Amino acid sequence: MTTYNFDEIIPRRGTSCVKHDMLNEVFGTDDVLPMWVADMDFKTPDFIVNAVRERCNHEVFGYTFAPDSYKMAVLNWMREHYHIETRWKHIHFIPGIVQGIAFVLQAFTNPGDKVLITTPVYPPFINVPHRSGRVFVSSALKTVNGRFAIDYEDFEEKAKGCKVFILANPHNPGGTVWSKEELRKIAEICYRQKVLVIADEIHADLTLPGYTHTSFTTVSEEALHNSITFIAPSKTFNMAGLASSICYVPDADIKKQFFGFLDANELSLGTLFAYVAAEAAFAHGDPWRRQLLDYLVGNIDFTEQYLQENMPEVKMMRPEASFLLWLDFRAWNIPHKELVDKLIHEAKVGLNSGLDYGPDGEGFMRMNIGTPRANVLEALERIKGCKR
């Protein structure tokens, strides 16, 4: 079996790379170490690159469609990893999950309708409803035993009158892997309140060893018949630039309405390389994925130990999935804006501001450790050097 080198430093500047080439736009300077957007610094796996390269050798890139081999790879992955047995008629290509969320809001809601989220949460869950004229309603998450938990009483109260709930499963930024029981309670409340669930499961394949991802539709009949699920190989296999996501809709009525909207807007087909790359990822990706997860656990362990030994006042929510760390800087006792400025201009580290994830994120920052360990160490050393 091939052994992959996740310690290799890959120069990414000058490649139209959001993470490295948009630092000025995001941080006001280009001399920060980028540890922000959820984009890993590891090479896209060789089996994906080789599949794209082989297709390039044909030298004709005409109109295309989803081949049966791609469909089979997707269905096999869903069966083996999510315990979902389905047929292709319940699957639809979408260019990206954030776009998919916007499509659901357009297909099932009107301007002024309420959209439920739990905060802190991935910023597009807030931004997409707001920009489309919908109203987002927030139910604040609790922290219980070092992980996020849902306040079900508040959740149900906030759900009243909402049309859609956007669920991050696993959670972003906390990395919480929701249990079957937690998801079942969400499904019961949303079904009772007639709130359609969007389950964003883009981080599902990054569930870390010792934890088990549960796909939302599998927990109950209420979940099965009241949800739209999004998955993608983009985060796991570091191929976000190839725009290859899918949605799964098991309920016939919801499927008819949503797929009808997508087809009416000519959103049925992906690009040639979206299919080629996704097929390679789903057909050949599991050995690479498992090595990646082991490396990520090493980075998480390294960060946790470094903080305990050097900055014990900075608390890390240990993730159960993904390569993102939710860091609590509140013990520094400085205003959030000052914290952000300090990390950018003194530490020269680019992290995501916790306030982008909702008002519950004040005093927090999100750090991406999907990068060689040398970069993680450098970032932590810089942060340590700037603290009071």
Q: What is the pLDDT of residues 160-196, one digit of tens each?
A: 999 999 999 999 999 999 999 999 999 999 999 999 9
Tell me whether residue 53 is in a domain: no
Q: Which residues pair with 364 in a beta bridge?
A: 328
- Whether residue 50 lies inside any domain: the answer is no
Model confidence at 268, pLDDT cuts 50, 70, 90, reads: confident
Helices within 311-388 (DSSP H only): 336-341, 373-386
Q: What is the pLDDT of residues 355-380, one digit of tens each?
A: 999 999 999 999 999 999 999 999 99
Total number of domains constituting the chain: 2
For residue 367, the SS3 value is: strand
The mean pLDDT of 84-113, rounded to a whole number, is: 97
Q: What is the CATH number of the domain that holds 280?
A: 3.40.640.10
Q: Which of 169, 126, 178, 117 is nearest to 147 (CA)?
A: 178
Contact 221, 205 (CB under 8 A): no
Whether residues 219 and 318 share a domain: the answer is no
pLDDT tens-digit readout, 287-307: 999 999 999 999 999 999 999
Please tell me whether residues 312 and 295 are part of one structural domain.
Answer: yes
Last residue of a domain, one of 263, 284, 305: 284
Structural domain includes residue 200? yes
Same domain, 241 and 318: no
What's residue 388's pLDDT? Answer: 62
**Under a CB-based contact definition with an 8 Å cutoff, are residues 81 and 205 in contact?**
yes
d(C-alpha 349, C-alpha 271), whole Å: 35
Can you tell me the distance from the alpha carbon of 90 to that of 72, in angstroms, rounded to the nearest whole number? 13
317 falls within a domain:
yes
Burial of 135 (0-12, 13-18, 19+ CB in 10 A): middle
The verdict on 311 and 368 lying in the same domain is yes
Residues 252 and 351 in one domain: no
- CATH number of residue 352's parent domain: 3.90.1150.10
Q: Residues 245, 163: one domain? A: yes
Q: Indicate the residue among 256, 284, 312 that finishes a domain.
A: 284
Output the pLDDT for position 355: 98
387, pLDDT greater than 80: no
Give the whole-angstrom CA distance, residue 206 versus residue 237.
10
- pLDDT band, residue 104 (cuts 50/70/90): very high
- Which letter, b or e, does each residue of 288-310 get, where b requires 16 or more Cβ atoms within 10 Å of its Cβ? bbebbbebbeebbeebeebbeee
| Residue 151 predicted with pLDDT over 70 | yes
- 117 within some domain: yes
Alpha carbons 287 and 170: distance in angstroms, whole number: 21
Q: From start to end of the chain, where are the E strands? A: 33-34, 91-94, 114-119, 135-140, 142-144, 147-149, 162-168, 196-200, 227-231, 245-248, 315-317, 324-328, 349-350, 352-353, 364-368
Domain boundary among 250, 284, 318: 284
Question: Are 278 and 292 found together in one domain?
Answer: no
* Distances in whole angstroms, Cα of residue 147 to Cα of each of 144, 168, 202, 320: 5, 14, 19, 9
- Same domain? For 298 and 273 the reply is no
For the stretch 35-79, pLDDT in tens is 999 999 999 999 999 999 999 999 999 999 999 999 999 999 999
Percent of the chain as helix, strand, coil, to the nearest 5: 45, 15, 40
Bond preceding residue 34 cis, omega within 30 of 0: no
Pair 293, 280 in one domain: no
- The separation between the first and the last C-alpha atoms of the chain, rounded to the nearest angstrom, is 48
Residue reference for tokens 């306030």 = 355
* Same domain flag for 374 and 256: no
Tell me the C-alpha distance between 81 and 27, whole Å. 38
* Residue 201 within any structural domain of the chain: yes
Q: Is residue 99 part of a domain?
A: yes
pTM: 0.96
Q: What sign for the dihedral angle of Cα 34, 36, 42, 47? A: negative
Same domain for 290 and 279: no
Residue 4 domain flag: no
CB 124 within 8 A of CB 168: no
Same domain, 358 and 375: yes
- Tell me the residue range of the domain where 172 lies: 61-284
